[in-house]
Amino acid sequence: MIRGDGDTRPVVALTGATGTIGRLVAHGLAAGGDADGDGAAVDVRLLVRDPGKARRAGLPGRAVRADFGQVDALTAALEGADSLFVVTADPARPDHDENVLAAARTAGVRRVVKLSALAVLDPGAQDVLTRWQRDNEERLRASGLAWTLLRPRAFMSNALGWAASVREEGVVRGLYGSGRNACVDPRDVADAAVRALLDPAAGGRSYALTGPEPLSAREQTEALGAVLGRPLTFVELTEEQALERWRARWPEPMAQALLEGARRQRDGAKEAVADGVREATGHAPRGFADWARAHTEVFQGPSHGPASGVE
């Protein structure tokens, strides 16, 4: 897995390459350093369980089979990589982060950029997702590897989960519609990841990534309707209705974690705006209307699946 003779391009390995942020990072690296095409050419390596899925998704770079549960395979996949973007997704498997860091050390990776969550800074956040992310951050800091932590608020792309009801009914349904969240555009998170993966100066830094203003689900619904050119209605869910939806997709501890997060948002814990996007990327954070304009076809055209996000 070592790069070919004479190839001096930095080798950047990505986990989570088929996810919301990972695919944007892959394209940003392939563009030469960021979404604007600045910077040096990069050899992109995608660590995926199914290389065929990565190819079918049109992701740039070389897809390499790897699994978080297999340290030897991870080590082989990381051989020759200069930096690594880490996204893990299962709080029930803390060994995933342990394994990928052990493989990175053995393979000689120089720095790791980890996707975490801004909730880790909130002492009132004690749900299973936040405790898991805190533990992951501590593992990375103790790993001996150069590290950068990206801590985003909820992704604006979570609104993709409204697409079907917006198209079919002109309705958005959600819990605690007046609670505000300084949600962030996934493109800004990906830009921050690309810069951190290529710039050694980002080592040892943590970035709080938010959008330019806190918005409630009601306000997002209004903004989305303005972009689409038609009024949308927000319908408030009860806690039990929201839990029923979450339980259909995730195990009970995850559903309860989402409920706890919604309650903290209701109580104002997620309103603060940070300057991390500008610090990490050099540009201002994009607003929700900008995100919505880039995704109008999802709310008007064929069905798209909802995207997952962190808080």
Averaged pLDDT for residues 80-94: 96
Give CA–CA dist 147/193, Å, rounded. 12
SS3 (DSSP) at 1: coil
The Cβ-side half-sphere exposure at 157, using a 13 Å CA radius, reads 19
Give CA–CA dist 151/119, Å, rounded. 8
Instruction: Say which residues have a Cβ less than 8 Å from residue 38's Cβ, sequence separation at least 6.
Output: 32
Give CA–CA dist 17/197, Å, rounded. 14
Quote the pLDDT of residue 1: 40
Quote the pLDDT of residue 41: 83
Quote the pLDDT of residue 36: 43
Give CA–CA dist 193/281, Å, rounded. 9
What percent of the chain has a predicted confidence (pLDDT) above 70?
A: 92
Cα 160 to its chain centre, rounded Å, is 14
**C-alpha to C-alpha distances, 99 to 92, 106, 130, nearest whole angstrom:** 14, 11, 20
Rounded to the nearest integer, the mean pLDDT of the chain is: 93
Start-to-end CA distance of the chain, whole Å, equals 35
Quote the pLDDT of residue 308: 39
Quote the pLDDT of residue 295: 97
Confidence check: pLDDT of 108 > 70: yes
Give the tens place of pLDDT for each residue, 212-224.
999 999 999 999 9
Residues forming a β-bridge with 233: 171
Give the tens place of pLDDT for each residue, 110-163.
999 999 999 999 999 999 999 999 999 999 999 999 999 999 999 999 999 999
Token pair, residue 192, equals 């921050």
Quote the pLDDT of residue 3: 53
CA-angle at 118, arms to 96 and 90, nearest 5°: 25
SS3 (DSSP) at 89: coil
Quote the pLDDT of residue 5: 57
Between residues 243 and 305, the one the model is more confident about: 243
Residues forming a β-bridge with 205: 148
Cα 188 to its chain centre, rounded Å, is 10
Give CA–CA dist 284/43, Å, rounded. 28
Quote the pLDDT of residue 38: 44
Confidence check: pLDDT of 288 > 50: yes
Give the tens place of pLDDT for each residue, 32-63.
754 444 445 899 999 999 999 999 999 999 99
Q: What are phi and psi of 272, to 5 degrees?
A: -65, 135
Query: Which 8-state DSSP code applies to residue 66?
Result: -
Confidence check: pLDDT of 84 > 90: yes
If pLDDT is split at 50, 70 and 90, which confidence band does 7 have?
confident
Residues forming a β-bridge with 241: none
